[in-house]
Amino acid sequence: MSQHPPVPSAGTLGETRAAAAAPAAPAPTAPTPAGTPVLTARGLTKTYGTTTALAGVDLTVRAGESVAIMGASGSGKTTLLHCLAGIVRPDGGEVGLATAAGEVMVSGLNEAGRSRLRREQFGFVFQEGLLLPELTALENVAVALMLGGVARPAAEHAAVGWLHALGLAGMEHRRIGQLSGGQAQRVAIARAQVTGAPVTFADEPTGALDSATSAEVMDLLLGATTGTGRTLVVVTHDEGVAARCTRVVRLRDGRVVAEHAGGAR
């Protein structure tokens, strides 16, 4: 992990769609050229007891794109995200991650290896944020860097930059329970981006938000990821969220049944 964590430039991403430009936060390595395969799933299978969650999924995710994974409850979309992100290992098939040193087989790593990969290469934004309620907004963001060995002063400096860029100036020392749902998701976005991770996974990131706040959060999430040349994979039930992505992948019974371009607006 770099000892010089990315810090957004002065200014903020803004409170509205019009002001939702991305912060100038470089990735820890040179950006992967747009369109280059970053994540490749080949023949993924996964069962839980007698339930088949994935039944031979092939999927390629490319640098700089936003991919929405959709499907009814039980279609396998969250399991697919978890396999892509190295949270769980598939029963069959493989997941490859393109890195500067070559392709890394995510699915072949042990738990320690996948944990390190998640810490260094991936960012995560979940429906409920999964933020630590006993920590402040600043601490929730800084800890992502500190876990990678960055000294606390440098980690907090980077965290402040991202919180300010996401419109949370003056709220750094509030605990999560003192923030609105939309503000908490901004903290989660800051935590996901502060390490410079090239790929961000979001699981129903707007599921607990009203429509206006949902649009605002998606503006910020897209601006902070694809807006800086990074990659976003989103699991969602919301057609409006999916339409904001460059590509939509639809699952049914653990299989990809359709793919089409999103609106990417």
What's residue 49's pLDDT? Answer: 94
Whether the per-residue pLDDT at 3 is higher than 90: the answer is no
Residue 218: which H helix or E strand, with range? helix 211-224
**DSSP one-letter string for 144-160:** HHHTTT--HHHHHHHHH
* DSSP secondary structure code for residue 262 in this structure: -
What's residue 31's pLDDT? Answer: 58
128 confidence band (pLDDT: 50, 70, 90): low
Q: Which of 80-84, 102-106, 179-183 has the highest mean pLDDT?
A: 80-84
The helix/strand/coil state of 1 is coil
**Class of domain 17-34+63-71+112-261 (CATH, top level):** alpha beta
- Per residue in 7-25, pLDDT (tens digit) is 664 333 433 233 333 333 3
- Per residue in 205-249, pLDDT (tens digit) is 888 888 898 899 899 999 999 998 999 999 999 999 999 999 999
What's residue 130's pLDDT? Answer: 77
**From 97-101, 108-112, 121-125, the region with the lowest mean pLDDT:** 97-101
CB 231, CB 34: distance < 8 Å: no
Single-letter amino acid code for the residue at 44 = L
The rounded distance, in Å, linking the Cα atoms of 117 and 89 is 13
